[in-house]
Amino acid sequence: MKRHVRKLLTVVTEAAVESILIKEMESLGAQGYTITSARGKGRRGARHAEWMPNSNIRVEIVCDAATSEAIIKHLHEHYYAHYAMIVLCADVEELRPDTA
Amino acid sequence: MIEPVVLFFLLGIVAGALRSELRLPGAVYEFVIILLLLAIGLKGGVELARQELAVVLPQMLGVVAMGAFLPLMAFPVLRGLGRLSRADAASVAAHYGSVSVGTYAVAVSYFTNRSIPFEEYIPLLLAVLEIPAIVVGIILARGFSLGIRVKSVAREVLLSKGIVLLLGGLFIGWIAGEDGIGSITPLFFDLFKGILALFLLEMGLITAAQLGSLKRHGVFLVLFGIAMPLFSALVGTALGLWFGLSVGGTAMIGTLAASASYIAVPAAMRISVPEANPTLSLAASLGVTFPFNVLVGIPMYHGLAVNAHLLWGAA
């Protein structure tokens, strides 16, 4: 069993930007992602998952350090000023099948 | 006599204001919206099959012009009297040029309860009216240098749930015709009012959630949220009269003009004009205009159409 040190990016943001955000992340090198609906409260107030204009998503991406830096930089430049968004970055170990 | 469906809306508002835990599960709310959109589309499609293109096409162009005109009227008021930033004013203006399917559904219920006939292909005009205000809103905020996201926004709007289901329903109704859709009548038409009641219950809860942000943004938004639909209803009524529609149809165009979007436009504006504050538009359109239209607006627009027809109609 191999273990790889990778970066886990967690982005919590507005559902309205989902399709654009995903396209941009893929073009920056993300090879996969997981999206879940999210609820919570932050600087821009409480956000409920049920109703589209007011709903949140949580996007998780496992990638290498260079990709995660590129994505963080992009999000900071294009989203942080105007959208409800929080980005977390953590070191994680990814388990891969031995054949890979 | 107050509509029973409106009582559900009031229940939602009261429950929301008292911070009850009541909430329609997300999937149920989605389902209810899908049923409403399809039912409205199907009904419109069946009727559309009986219409001449030469009658409907000028009316489509007429509502497109109205959808572009209304935000252009709203924008200077929002800038001048409301002292909103350019982006905020453009976004709010776009909401008021577009339409609310929920308000239309309540109007359908109001008119059918009173056996007032109206041109039932109006859902086509409803679908058409969603779009021009979004374009005008983006231009008001951005100028003509629309930037890189135009394609994404166009995609988002044209393939949005609302447009796809409404146009899809129209198409199916148009192809299938009155006899063809007989077999799906129990779900889409017999249950229409019950589904509308559930929708309005959740809308009441959502409206109540806007009241907090309304308090923060003050008196201007409340006044605008009432004055703007009244002005728009006059424009819509004039247009309906000019189209030569029945009293019910004229009142419907008035109602469509008066309604403000809270699904399609917020989503489009969020992507295309990110610096606009979304809570501002939603507080006005959901916190003020939607309840105003549902509770007192629709009967008023009906009265307006009746009087307009007495004065100028069928001359």
Instruction: Tell whether A49 lies on the interface with B, counting CB pairs under 8 A.
Output: yes
The runs of H, that is alpha helices, within B1-100 are 4-17, 26-48, 53-80, 86-97
Over 80: is that where the pLDDT of B216 sits?
A: no
Amino acid at A29: G
Q: Range with the lowest mean pLDDT among A45-54, B66-75, B100-109?
A: A45-54
Q: How far is Cα A69 from Cα B281, in angstroms, rounded to an integer?
A: 35
**Chain A contact present for B152, CB below 8 A:** yes
Please name the helix (run of DSSP H) or strand (run of DSSP E) that holds residue A41, with its range, or none: strand A40-42
The CATH classification number of B4-16+23-304 equals 1.20.1530.20
Of the two residues B46 and B161, the one the predictor is more confident about is: B46
Q: What gap in Å lies between CA B43 and CA B287, rounded to an integer?
A: 29
Give A59 to chain B, closest Cα distance, Å.
18
Check pLDDT > 60 for residue B148: no
- How confident is residue B62, by pLDDT bands cut at 50, 70 and 90? very high
Can you list the domains of chain A with their CATH numbers?
2-58+66-86 (3.30.70.120)
Nearest chain A CA: its distance from B275 CA (Å): 5
Average pLDDT, chain B: 91
pLDDT of residue B315: 47
Which of B24, B209, B263 faces A52 most closely, judged by CB atoms?
B263
Q: Note whether B85 contacts A: Cβ–Cβ < 8 A.
A: no
- Report in angstroms the alpha-carbon separations of B224 from B81, B260, B268, B285, B312: 10, 12, 22, 10, 29
Average pLDDT over residues B175-199: 93
Give the 3-state secondary structure percentages of chain B, helix then strand then coil, rounded to 5: 80, 0, 20
Q: In chain A, helix, strand, coil percent, each to 5?
A: 30, 45, 25
The pLDDT of B271-289, averaged and rounded, is 89
Per-residue pLDDT of B219-254, as tens digits, reads 999 999 999 999 999 999 999 999 999 999 999 999
Considering only CB atoms, A53 lies closest to which of B149, B263, B275, namely B263
Q: Domain map of chain B by residue range?
A: 4-16+23-304
Grade residue B263 by pLDDT with cuts at 50, 70 and 90: confident
> B57, exposed or middle or buried, with CB in 10 Å at 0-12, 13-18, 19+?
exposed
How far apart CA B306 and CA B311 sit, in angstroms, is 9
pLDDT at B116 over 80: yes
Q: Compute the residue count for chain A.
A: 100
Q: Cβ of B149 under 8 Å from any chain A Cβ?
A: yes
- Element containing residue A89 per DSSP (H, E): strand A85-96
Contact at CB, B206 and A81, closer than 8 angstroms:
no
Report residue B13's pLDDT band, with 50, 70 and 90 as the boundaries.
Answer: very high
Given a contact cutoff of 8 angstroms between Cβ atoms, the answer to whether B257 and B298 are in contact is no
Chain B residues whose CB is inside 8 A of the A82 CB are 274-275
Q: Å from B237 to nearest chain A CA?
A: 30
Q: Which chain B residue has the Cα nearest residue A20?
A: B152
Distance CA B280, CA B283 (A): 5
A26 phi, psi to nearest 5 deg: -65, -40
Q: Do B156 and A54 touch (CB under 8 A)?
A: no
CA distance A51 to chain B (A): 7
pLDDT at residue B314, rounded to an integer: 58
ipTM at complex level: 0.75
Whether residue A37 lies within 8 A of chain B, CB to CB, comes out as yes
d(CA A39, CA A58): 9
Weakly modelled stretches of chain A, pLDDT under 70: 44-53, 99-100
Residue of chain B with shortest Cα separation from A16? B267
Minimal CA separation from A54 to chain B, in Å: 9
- The answer to which of A22-26, B155-159, B223-227, B255-259 has the lowest mean pLDDT is B155-159
Q: Say if the Cβ atoms of B266 and A16 lie within 8 Å.
A: yes
Those residues whose C-beta lies under 8 Å from the C-beta of residue B68, and which sit 6 or more positions away, are: B97, B132, B133, B135, B136
